[in-house]
């Protein structure tokens, strides 16, 4: 059921109190003794950003009408053997009403793995949702799904797109699910390990509220951290591990370039240390592109200046950059050889044939999961399945060690399962 603080007079609806039994009915927050507004009424501070809600407020819940019909999947290529196995696992879990986790490396082709399950759900007349952290990926995935399910209505839902009418599948940012109550039979949650979902009780609550009581949450993730592993074990959730990419080539390992006084070179001397300069020049000479990750926006600006002064054409982007989409497009169109980015682009972006440099890789913002995601940007195309991932750092950190171990573990597992074709280089 879709939920609103204001009433649509043409649609029949159910009305509930905004706060009942000391719990916010919109976001599930447990009201504390100190949560009183200026009129001494209990209010919810947790979901205030979606409209003020106190004990005098009411919520209107509407049934979303969807036509039940026969749906078709239009797939003009075959899934890899590994994708087929994962797809069958998911379908089995869904048909037998069991929770599950899909633990697949970056570039495994997770979307393709969902098709059969989505088709099954559509033909059951189920309410289906794909919840994704980022708006740009929501838009891209909506278009992809619409091609695969040409007779179904697929709608995107984010801050600037709120129309869910007649949709068979909703592709939504996680935050927009606050407007739903026991709506979905299945929510496929992508990047369950990532910001903003990881460790966020608010988003956890609204996802669970949006599910029907018998509905399933299917979590998909490239990495599984300790709390998630504990929860999977405690709730006895079945996990399918897919350690190989769809193109049957191994994951590339991190290469470490030790650089002393990296900070000082870039910030104060406004120049590039030799290992970095030589690497960039080699890439340029061989007409390759690189995405250069930096820990902060300021670092990006320092690096952009130092690179420009050394004769390297580059642009830098960060989350608040109003021109970021244009700059990313220029990089995608190969008009710029180097794009500097904060962790903004650690996930979701797919550009053929790029290499990755991670600057000041020992910075605490680069945890193991971030490093793995950034490395996942290389080798995503079957014609260029490999790329360099170079960490420029003054020292090794536990995060770097763990990220290297992850790559080794996944490659070893993929060999054991017969999911990669090529010989593995020394790890
Ligand atoms: Zn609330």
User: In angstroms, rounded to a whole number, what is the distance separating the alpha carbons of residues 415 and 4?
Assistant: 51
Q: How far is the CA of 28 from the centre of ligand 1 (A)?
A: 6
User: What's the rounded Cα separation, in Å, for the pair 127 and 65?
Assistant: 10
46: Cα separation from own chain's centroid: 23
* For range 226-247, the mean pLDDT: 91
Distance 35 CA to ligand 1 centre (A): 11
Average pLDDT over residues 113-123: 97
Which of these, 315, 317, 299, 312, lies nearest to 263 by C-alpha position?
299
> Residue 8 has what pLDDT?
65
- For residue 343, the model assigns a pLDDT of 86
- Interval between CA 364 and ligand 1 midpoint (Å): 32
CATH of domain 81-242: 3.40.50.300
Model confidence at 425: pLDDT above 70:
no
Looking at the predicted structure, is the pLDDT value of residue 161 above 80? yes
Least confident range of 86-90, 221-225, 294-298, 412-416: 221-225
**What's the pLDDT score for residue 68?**
86
Distance from the Cα of residue 27 to its chain's centroid:
22
The distance from CA 114 to its chain's CA centroid, rounded to whole angstroms, is: 15
From the CA of 187, how far away is ligand 1's center (Å)? 21
* CA–CA gap between residue 150 and residue 312 (Å, rounded): 45
Report how far ligand 1's centroid is from the alpha carbon of 31 (Å): 9
How far does the centroid of ligand 1 lie from the alpha carbon of residue 268, in Å? 47
pLDDT at res. 82: 87
pLDDT (mean) for 51-61: 93
Residue 23 CA, ligand 1 centroid: distance in Å? 8
Structure confidence at residue 423 (pLDDT): 65
Same fold, 81-242 and 255-416: yes
CA of 72 to the centre of ligand 1 (A): 39
CA of 173 to the centre of ligand 1 (A): 18
270, 299, 304, 320: which is closest to 363 by C-alpha?
Answer: 299
**Residue 194 above 90 pLDDT?**
no
Of 42-46, 94-98, 189-193, 218-222, the poorest mean pLDDT is in: 189-193
Rounded to whole angstroms, how far apart are CA atoms 263 and 411? 33
H/E element, 409 = helix 398-416
Helix (H) or strand (E) holding 257, with range, is strand 255-258
170 CA → ligand 1 middle, Å? 23
Question: Does residue 10 surpass a pLDDT of 70?
Answer: no
Centroid of ligand 1 to alpha carbon of 197 (angstroms) = 17
CB 168 within 8 A of CB 152: yes
Angle at 274 between CA 273 and CA 275, to 5 degrees: 100
Residue ranges of the domains in the chain? 1-63, 81-242, 255-416
Q: Decide if pLDDT at 330 tops 70.
A: yes
State the distance from the centre of ligand 1 to the C-alpha of 213, rounded, in angstroms. Answer: 20
Taking residues 99-128, report their average pLDDT.
Answer: 94
Q: Which of 12-21, 376-385, 417-426 has the lowest average pLDDT? A: 417-426
Across the range 390-412, mean pLDDT stands at: 96
Which pLDDT score, from 0 to 100, does residue 306 have? 93
Q: Once rounded to an integer, what is the mean pLDDT over residues 262-282?
A: 90
DSSP state letters, 366-394? S-HHHHHHHHTTSS-BTTB----EEEEES
131 C-alpha vs ligand 1 centroid, how far in Å? 20
Q: How far is the centre of ligand 1, averaged over its atoms, from the C-alpha of 130 (Å)?
A: 23
How far apart are the CA of 99 and the centre of ligand 1, in A?
Answer: 26
Pick the closest to residue 157 from 185, 123, 187, 122 (CA basis): 187
pLDDT for 1 equals: 79
Rg of the chain over Cα atoms, rounded to whole angstroms, equals 23
What per-residue confidence (pLDDT) applies to 225?
85
- Contact of 417 with 409, CB cutoff 8 Å: no
CATH superfamily of 255-416: P-loop containing nucleotide triphosphate hydrolases (3.40.50.300)
Give 240-265 pLDDT, tens digit per residue: 999 999 899 999 999 999 999 888 88
Cis ω on the peptide bond leading into residue 108 (within 30° of 0)?
no
CA of 384 to the centre of ligand 1 (A): 47
pLDDT at 426: 55
> Residue 269: what pLDDT?
79
CB-based burial, 284-306: b 16+ in 10 Å, e otherwise: beeebbbbbbbbebebbebbbbb
Tell how far the Cα of 223 is from the centroid of ligand 1, in angstroms.
30
Residue 86 has pLDDT above 90, yes or no: yes
Q: Ligand 1 centroid to 159 CA: how many Å?
A: 18
Please answer whether residues 163 and 192 qualify as being in contact, where contact means their C-beta atoms are separated by less than 8 angstroms: no
Nearest CA to 138 out of 95, 171, 162, 177 is that of: 171
Average pLDDT over residues 272-282: 95
Whole-prediction pTM: 0.86
Report how far ligand 1's centroid is from the alpha carbon of 164 (Å): 22
Residues in the chain: 427
How many whole angstroms from 203 Cα to the centroid of ligand 1? 11
Q: How many CA atoms are closer than 13 Å to the CA of 103, on its beta-carbon side?
A: 15
Rounded to the nearest 5 degrees, what angle is found at the Cα of 207, between the Cα atoms of 202 and 208?
100
Measured in Å, residue 26 CA sits from the centre of ligand 1 at 5
* Beta bridge partners of residue 57, listed in sequence order: none
Q: What is the mean pLDDT of residues 76-91?
A: 92
In this structure, what are the phi and psi dihedrals at residue 123, rounded to the nearest 5 degrees?
A: -75, -15
3-class SS shares of the chain: helix, strand, coil, % to 5? 35, 20, 45
Buried b (16+ CB within 10 A) or exposed e, 148-161: bbeebebbbbbeeb
Which of the residue ranges 2-11, 135-144, 149-158, 225-234 has the most confident prediction, judged by mean pLDDT?
149-158
State yes or no: pLDDT of 196 exceeds 90: no
Q: Which residue has the higher pLDDT, 65 or 352?
A: 352
Report the pLDDT value the prediction gives residue 40, as an integer from 0 to 100. Answer: 86
* CA distances from residue 414 to 86, 144, 221, 411 in whole angstroms, order as listed: 14, 28, 17, 5
């Amino acid at each position: 059921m879709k939920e609103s603080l204001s009433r649509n007079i043409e649609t029949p609806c159910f009305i509930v109190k905004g706060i009942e039994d000391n719990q916010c009915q919109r976001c599930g927050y447990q009201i504390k003794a100190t949560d009183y507004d200026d009129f001494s009424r209990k209010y919810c501070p947790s979901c205030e950003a979606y409209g003020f809600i106190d004990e005098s407020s009411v919520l209107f819940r509407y049934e979303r009408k969807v036509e039940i019909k026969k749906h078709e999947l239009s797939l003009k290529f075959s899934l890899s053997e590994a994708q087929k196995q994962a797809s069958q696992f998911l379908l089995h879990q869904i048909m037998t009403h069991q929770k599950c986790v899909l633990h697949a490396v970056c570039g495994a082709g997770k979307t393709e793995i969902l098709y059969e399950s989505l088709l099954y759900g559509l033909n059951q007349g189920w309410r289906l949702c794909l919840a994704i952290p980022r708006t740009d990926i929501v838009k891209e995935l909506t278009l992809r799904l619409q091609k695969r399910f040409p007779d179904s209505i697929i709608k995107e839902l984010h801050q600037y797109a709120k129309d869910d009418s007649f949709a068979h599948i909703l592709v939504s940012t996680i935050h927009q699910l606050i407007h739903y109550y026991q709506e979905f039979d299945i929510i496929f949650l992508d990047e369950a390990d990532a910001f903003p979902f990881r460790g966020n009780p608010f988003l956890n609550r609204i996802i669970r509220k949006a599910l029907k009581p018998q509905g399933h949450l299917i979590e998909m993730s490239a990495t599984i951290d300790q709390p998630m592993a504990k929860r999977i074990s405690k709730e006895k959730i079945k996990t399918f591990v897919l350690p190989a990419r769809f193109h049957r080539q191994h994951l590339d390992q991190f290469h470490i370039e030790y650089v002393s006084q990296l900070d000082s070179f870039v910030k104060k001397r406004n120049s590039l240390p030799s290992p970095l300069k030589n690497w960039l020049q080699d890439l340029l000479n061989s007409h390759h592109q690189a995405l250069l990750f930096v820990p902060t926006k300021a670092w990006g600006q320092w690096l952009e200046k130092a690179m420009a002064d050394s004769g390297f054409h580059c642009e830098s982007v960060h989350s608040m950059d109003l021109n970021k989409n244009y700059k990313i497009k220029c990089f995608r169109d190969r008009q710029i050889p180097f794009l500097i980015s904060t962790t903004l682009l650690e996930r979701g972006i797919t550009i053929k044939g790029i290499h990755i440099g991670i600057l000041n890789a020992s910075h605490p913002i680069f945890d193991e999961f971030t490093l793995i995601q950034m490395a996942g940007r290389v080798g995503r195309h079957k014609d260029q399945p490999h790329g360099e991932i170079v960490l420029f750092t003054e020292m090794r950190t536990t995060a770097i060690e763990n990220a290297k171990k992850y790559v080794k573990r996944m490659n070893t597992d993929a060999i054991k399962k017969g999911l990669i074709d090529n010989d593995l280089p020394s790890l």
